[in-house]
Chains A and B, each alone.
Chain A
Amino acid sequence: MKHTLVALVENKPGVLNRVASLFRRRNFNIDSLTVGRTHRDDVSRMTIVMDENTSPAKVEQNLYKLVNVIQVDNVTMKPSVARDLALIKVRVEAAETRSQVLQVCEIFRARIVDASPTTAIVEVTGAEDKIASLIELLRPVGILETVRTGVVTMARGEDVLDGNGYKSPGNGSSSNGKHNGAL
């Protein structure tokens, strides 16, 4: 199973570089990494998805070593919402393919966000596997371009990652809520 970590980081220049450099240096294999602003000007949020062979505890502990990382949460086992957004440009010259694309879009609750005489851009939001299925269905039509944002994740309900309470660095043998083990 893939692991998903969510990290709140200081919104400062170079922080993404520090995180990416850490993953390369420690030989952590990352599937996807997304980063964006939050409702707080000083905080950005990352969603990090890694393959099953990478230890999320190790990644978490090492993330905490970065001065600019505020809080890390492993949401792999938590009830959470995970979304990926894709734009897929397809070739739609024949009327027949046009209706075929529309039909597929309806099944996946995808939308046509751009149409030209020869092309259309399909926008879809959802879990990764849903997008993968849509891409498979559109492939025979003729995909010209694909772009995906990578997964963003948020735990459900009252489980709030607010950057105010430090979490355990997750050393595996104890749960220590007093400090984040950052260095």
Chain B
Amino acid sequence: MKLKGSEIILECLMREGVDVMFGITGGAILPTFDAMTRYPQIKHIHTRHEQGAAHMADGYARATGKVGVAVATSGPGATNLVTGLATAMMDSSPVVAITGQVGTATIGSDAFQETDVTGVTLPVTKHNYLVYDIDELAYTIKEAFHIARTGRPGPVLVDVPKDVQNTEIEFVYPEEGITLPGYQPATTATCGEIEMALRLIRKAQRPVILAGHGILMAGAMREVVEFAERTQTPITWTLLGKGAVPESHYLNLGMMGMHGEAYCNTAIQSADLLLAFGMRFDDRVTGNLATYAPEAKKIHIDIDASEIHKNVHADLGIVGDLKMVLNQLLPELEPMQHADWMEQIDEWRDDTTKRDIINQKTSRFVAAQAIYDIWRFTGGEDGGETIFVSDVGQHQMWVAQYCRLEKPHTHITSGGLGTMGFGMPAAIGAKLGRPDAEIWAVVGDGGFQMTMAELGTLAQYNVPVKVAIINNHFLGMVRQWQELFYDSRFQATPLVNPDFVKIAEAYNITARRVEQRSAVNDAIQWARAVDGPVVLDFDVEEHDIVYPMVPSGADLHDMIRRPMPEGRKQS
């Protein structure tokens, strides 16, 4: 069968199981967009900006576990993808980006819309390609998907010059497997490593599991819970590890780190064994490394060898697939008890409960309570399967703290890069991957406006994502730092916002403003009843702070706590 390069791209995407892709056309990618008319099996979502396309592909990948695909033209189209690729890179999200490039004859001549895209994206992709030879196109795309989804997943970019897209050849799909001499993702642990792990686990009196994103990537949710139950080890998780264990589980503690629960951080600092499962000791979870978990032995299991000892020295580092390694450990583990340790942690937890804003009555419309209500009133208390996609900032932390999730892959957020503007487009991608799921994009007013143009995409494809703007008329997280560490000099954080309801309505998107807590449930049920996208503008208290907080670089146990409510004694 004779096919053009553009058609070969789509043939390959079909064979990878791609059902939807996100992008914007343009000069150098026109042949591929034209070929799309002959491949209606793959739905194309025309976004308003390539950054949105990259976030959508990322959101799709995180919601489905499949590879998300973004398409863009050369030059500005491709450079607009960069923020989205960097986001996917930091959070190990499998994304394949296909970009058009100027013709091979003009590469290097500063041709119109030419950019060295493989050069620009080198540090923000797991791997990338510039395909000069039509004969290598199909294999390269196959390899790109393989690299994106295996090992530690990540974004891969394939840059295809326009003449390669137009060249016709006899198409034979490379059915053989991928052979990459330098790419062999890690699998199991050695017997020696398992033995040493067992020794450390059996000796521990105060163990804590640090649950990371790797659990979700490896699909090791069941194994982690089994490990925790067998060894009676409490679990605290990173921002991206949220959802890896059911939060109603009696061994679940909550989030660790800068805005983690105080009792989680205290437990880590007092532990004698940390079991780091698929996490990377980011500075946002460790605080000051010099005083981090001083009494604890550390077992670090990660598929990426370069993460072991990178930030925190591991007494035992195991490079492997977490699911496989835990399945090696589990048959060897006998039931254990750590009753005193659990009791101690419960005591610390009790102090947090007393301070918790959720348990306080206030006449103000507090963001944390609004977010808690969104979770509650979308079936959260009944173990609902609503997917929460957050943006970046204060609301992101409140989503992590108060949306108590039971199912894996129901929490999507930009953790490592902290990309404002991620939320709404990622939610669109998630919804297209999981049309059955109820999806709420909880975003701040600052981040929302960074990719607000994607309201156009939301409207054009009538994607039933419910967008909750937590509108405090500030870049709230930075405002918080200014209040705490810069003598309340609110430089460049106040926002004069447009009327988001009117903006949404201009796109023919149903919208409503919510101004008090008593109106939240009604607004949510109203939004859920609409068969299409909805924007809810929550006009919340401006001067609010996410508690607790470990100041940047401070010791993990050195937290700024929410003050005890009046009339309650500090325990």
Contact = CB atoms under 8 A, between A and B. Distances in A.
Interface of A: 9-10, 14, 17-18, 21, 25, 57-58, 61-62, 64-71, 163, 166, 169-176, 178-183
A25 B126 CA distance: 14
Nearest to A174: B193
A181 B186 contact: yes
B180 A181 contact: no
27 contacts: A9-B182, A10-B181, A14-B118, A25-B123, A66-B182, A67-B182, A169-B319, A171-B314, A171-B319, A172-B308, A172-B317, A174-B193, A174-B316, A174-B317, A175-B190, A176-B193, A178-B187, A178-B188, A178-B190, A179-B184, A179-B185, A180-B184, A181-B305, A182-B184, A183-B151, A183-B152, A183-B154
Interface string B281-320: 0000000000000000000000111101110001111110
Given A179-B187, A181-B319, A70 B151 contact: no
B309 A172 contact: yes
Nearest to B299: A173
Given A65-B306, A179-B187, A182-B185, 10 more contacts: A65-B304, A169-B305, A169-B306, A171-B314, A171-B317, A176-B186, A176-B189, A181-B186, A181-B319, A182-B151
B302 to A, nearest CB: 9
Contacts of B183: 67, 182-183
B335 interface: no
A153 B518 CA distance: 74
Interface residue tally of chain B, by bracket? 35 or more
Chain A contact residues: over half helix, strand or loop, or mixed? Answer: loop
A58 B123 CA distance: 17
Contacts of A70: 181-182
A179 B186 contact: yes
Interface in B186-208: 186-190, 192-193
B407 interface: no
Contacts of B314: 171, 173
Interface string B217-240: 000000000000000000000000
A29 B303 CA distance: 26
Contacts of A175: 190
Contact of B317 (A65, A66, A173, A182): A173
Contacts of B180: 67
B253 to A, nearest CB: 27
Contact of A61 (B118, B123, B184, B306): B306
B376 interface: no
The 8 closest A-B pairs by CB, nearest first: A181-B305, A169-B305, A61-B306, A183-B151, A70-B182, A171-B308, A183-B152, A171-B317
Given A174-B190, A174-B317, A181-B319, A69 B182 contact: yes
Contacts of B417: none
B147 interface: yes
A22 to B, nearest CB: 9
B495 interface: no
A170 B309 CA distance: 11
Nearest to A66: B182
Interface of B: 118-119, 122-123, 126-127, 130, 147, 151-152, 154, 180-190, 192-193, 303-306, 308-310, 314-319
B217 to A, nearest CB: 11
Given A173-B308, A173-B314, A178-B190, A10 B123 contact: no
Contacts of B306: 58, 61-62, 64-65, 169
Contact of A57 (B119, B151, B309): B309
Interface centre among B182, B188, B193, B319 (most CB of A within 10 A): B182
A47 to B, nearest CB: 17
A174 B309 CA distance: 13
A64 B304 CA distance: 10
B222 to A, nearest CB: 24
Given A176-B190, A183-B152, A171 B305 contact: yes
Interface centre among A25, A71, A169 (most CB of B within 10 A): A169
A1 B245 CA distance: 47
A123 to B, nearest CB: 35
B89 to A, nearest CB: 12
Contacts of B316: 173-174
Contacts of A25: 123
A119 to B, nearest CB: 37
Contacts of B119: 17
Nearest to A71: B182
Contacts of A57: 309
Interface centre among A17, A68, A70, A181 (most CB of B within 10 A): A181
A106 to B, nearest CB: 45
B123 A174 contact: no
Contacts of A69: 182
Given A10-B182, A172-B309, A183 B190 contact: no
Contacts of A9: 182
Contacts of B192: 174
Contacts of A14: 118, 130
B181 A163 contact: yes
A65 B182 CA distance: 9
A71 B184 CA distance: 11
B303 A173 contact: no
A34 to B, nearest CB: 19
A79 B328 CA distance: 38
Contacts of A174: 190, 192-193, 316-318
A17 B304 contact: no
B268 to A, nearest CB: 21
Contacts of B305: 61, 64, 169-171, 181
A183 B304 contact: yes
Interface centre among A10, A65, A175 (most CB of B within 10 A): A65
A114 B310 CA distance: 50
